Amino acid sequence: MVERCDIVLKPNLMEAKNRTKQEVLVKTNEYIIKEDLKKLGLGKKYYVKTYGCQMNEHDTENIKAILEDMSFKETENYEDADFILLNTCAIRENVHNKVFGMIGRIKHLKEKKPHIIAGICGCMAQEEVVVNKILEKYKWLDIVFGTHNIHNLPNILSRSLEKKELEIEVLSIEGNVIENLPAKRDSKYKAWINIMYGCDKFCTYCIVPYTRGKQRSRKPEFIIEEIQQLISENYKEVTLLGQNVNAYGKDLDIDYTMANLLEEVAKTGIERVRFVTSHPWDFSDEMIEVIKNNKNIMPYIHLPLQSGSDRILKLMGRRYTKQTYLELYKKIKTALPYSSITTDIIVGFPGETEEDFNETLDVVKECKYDSAFTFIFSPRVGTPAANMDDNVSLEKKNNRLHKLNELVNSYAKEANDKYLGKIVPVLIEGISEKDKNKLVGYTDTMKLVNVIGDVSNVGKIVDVEITEAKTWSLDGKIK
Ligand code: SAH
Ligand code: SF4
Ligand code: F3S
């Protein structure tokens, strides 16, 4: 635990970048909640909003459980809450704008109800520029804490309440592995499981290695134990999470890889195993074999491309080429012809020419992805790409994004059309928010399906006949 008195622990970008050979400590007893803090939230409601990736969503599940250990109760409406927390993402500038917009709304609310406690956490809290901005303009906030000290939330909160002033605790460290955090999971049927934290790839555009620390794999036995517990609670699906799951195990002092872990997880007998994100650099043949040989590892792979131009890939520090990416793609598709493959693409990286962009379109045309997340490059303070010369106008970037999206969407529809009339397994997750008469779920290949069927099927994997294919989803009925 962090020993501290009145010093504010602020993020420091240079420290956050540090990587040493220092041993990663696995802490199984780090989250301890003092008796007097267990009642701190009695009669009070909390609201947590999540802005980031699956890892952030899972952090929110941990945060919610910690708050409930302090007797807070959840509310879905921030205007009803006594404690409002924004769990933020730093990956692109547009999230910053959304977060500061929300902070503005909270300020109005706090003017009417001064007792409200408000704070931010997550990846933006790890950014020096953000914390400096808060210290300058938003000192009325109550707490700011980072990604490395979620377990310390009860103490941070109580210190802020005691002092009645902004409490900042952001650790710019390489990070440890905290094993005993509780979780209030969003779903009763599918669960996120962290298998590793941090990232050491340092792609030149990306802030994650600074906000999340160095790559730290969890020990396999802790992961398997967590999954066995979930099976006993009737969970059907686990998604193994990491920024770069294919590199799992490389930092452990045992000879154990992602292929080994996948195999061991499959053997637990859980009905569905997924994993994200797969960096093409570390995708091994053994992994492909294991996926092929285990029916409960889902045929769905997210394989970020980022760019199809070798020149840009090199500037990005991705360590693969258009050709090696395509070779990997074909290897996966040959071994797993039924699989769906999705990707991430950045357009408008500094200096991207029309020729570079066309190389990206070429790869999309070859891979015909099931879908893709596409982004305009967003310079992140402190990353190398933020200082690269960028002579591409925003108008050009927008045009490229538009052109890329049209292409991506046409292939997404084409891929979905292939499902028409087929019968596919769907894990029914609940009732559709848009249409209360329908159920929603995902196929083994991660296609969203709106399903006609009886509500008693929620939580089950059922055969669904696909009756309509759209660009982003399928319609179907239970057989
Ligand atoms: N670890 C994953 C990516 C996580 S971030 C991987 O390496 O594949 C999710 C996606 O956000 C990235 O794949 C990338 O496409 C996008 N992204 C990251 N940094 C970005 C930036 N500075 N500007 C625009 N998009 C970015
Ligand atoms: Fe970011 Fe690259 Fe790490 Fe992914 S692999 S989180 S893009 S640095
Ligand atoms: Fe965003 Fe942090 Fe995830 S920057 S994408 S929330 S790791």
Say yes or no to pLDDT of 29 above 50: yes
How far is ligand 3, taken at its centre, from the CA of residue 369, in Å?
A: 23
The CATH number that domain 3-169 falls under is 3.40.50.12160
Alpha-carbon dihedral 340, 341, 344, 345, rounded to 10 degrees:
-120
Total-model pTM: 0.96
**Cis geometry, peptide bond prior to residue 343 (ω within 30 degrees of 0):** no
Span 47-83, pLDDT tens digits: 999 999 999 999 999 999 999 999 999 999 999 999 9
Residue from 54, 56, 89, 91 whose mutation best tests the ligand 1 pocket (most atoms within 8 A of CB): 91
Vertex 226, ends 230 and 218: CA angle to 5°? 150
What is residue 291's predicted lDDT score, i.e. its pLDDT?
98
pLDDT interval class at 124 (50, 70, 90): very high
Say yes or no to pLDDT of 36 above 60: yes
* Minimum mean pLDDT range among 6-15, 282-291, 337-346, 458-467: 6-15
CB of 53 closer than 6 A to ligand 3? yes
Vertex 210, ends 204 and 214: CA angle to 5°? 100
Superfamily name and number for 181-417: tm_1862 like domain (3.80.30.20)
Residue of 420, 434, 405, 415 whose CA lies nearest to 466:
420
Fold of 423-478: OB fold (Dihydrolipoamide Acetyltransferase, E2P) (2.40.50)
CA distance 113 to 115: 6
Instruction: Kindly list the domain boundaries of the chain, sorted by start residue.
Output: 3-169, 181-417, 423-478
**Cis geometry, peptide bond prior to residue 277 (ω within 30 degrees of 0):** yes
How far is ligand 1, taken at its centre, from the CA of residue 206, in Å?
A: 6
CA distance 265 to 239: 11
pLDDT interval class at 460 (50, 70, 90): very high
Q: What is the mean pLDDT of residues 234-255?
A: 97
What does the radius of gyration of the chain's CA atoms come to, in whole angstroms?
23
Residue from 346, 380, 405 whose mutation best tests the ligand 1 pocket (most atoms within 8 A of CB): 346
- What contacts 24+ positions apart, CB below 8 Å, involve 310-317? 310/359, 311/356, 312/349, 312/351, 312/352, 312/356, 312/359, 315/204, 315/349, 315/350, 315/351, 315/385, 315/388, 316/203, 316/204, 316/205, 316/346, 316/349, 316/385, 317/201, 317/202, 317/203, 317/204, 317/384
Q: Whose CA is nearest to atom 12 of ligand 1?
A: 344
What is residue 54's predicted lDDT score, i.e. its pLDDT?
97
Share of the chain above pLDDT 70, in %: 98
Q: Max CA-CA distance within the chain? A: 65
How far is ligand 3, taken at its centre, from the CA of residue 295, in Å?
A: 31
Query: Residue 357 is inside which H or E element, if any?
Result: helix 354-367
What is residue 358's predicted lDDT score, i.e. its pLDDT?
98
CB–CB of 169/152 below 8 Å? yes
CA distance 437 to 454: 9
Span 327-342, pLDDT tens digits: 999 999 999 999 999 9
Amino acid at 470: K
CA distance 212 to 198: 5
Please count the other Cβ atoms lying within 10 Å of the Cβ belonging to residue 337.
Answer: 8
Share the mean pLDDT of the chain: 96
CA distance 152 to 159: 11
What's the DSSP call for residue 156? H
Please count the other Cβ atoms lying within 10 Å of the Cβ belonging to residue 435.
Answer: 11
CB of 280 closer than 6 A to ligand 2? no
pLDDT interval class at 7 (50, 70, 90): low
Q: What is the mean pLDDT of residues 434-454?
A: 96
CB of 56 closer than 6 A to ligand 3? yes
Going by their DSSP bridges, the two strands 216-217 and 83-88 should be labelled as unpaired
Give the pair of three-digit tokens for residue 55: 């890892």
Q: Give the binding-site residues of ligand 1, using a 6 Å CB cut-off.
A: 91-92, 205-206, 243-244, 277, 279, 304, 306, 344, 346, 375, 377-378, 380
Give the pair of three-digit tokens for residue 339: 């699989």
pLDDT interval class at 3 (50, 70, 90): very low
Share of the chain above pLDDT 90, in %: 97
How far is ligand 1, taken at its centre, from the CA of residue 91, in Å?
A: 7
Residue of 207, 205, 125, 210 whose CA lies nearest to 377:
205
Residue of 475, 378, 457, 384 whose CA lies nearest to 421:
475
Q: What is the mean pLDDT of residues 266-279?
A: 97
Span 280-330, pLDDT tens digits: 999 999 999 999 999 999 999 999 999 999 999 999 999 999 999 999 999
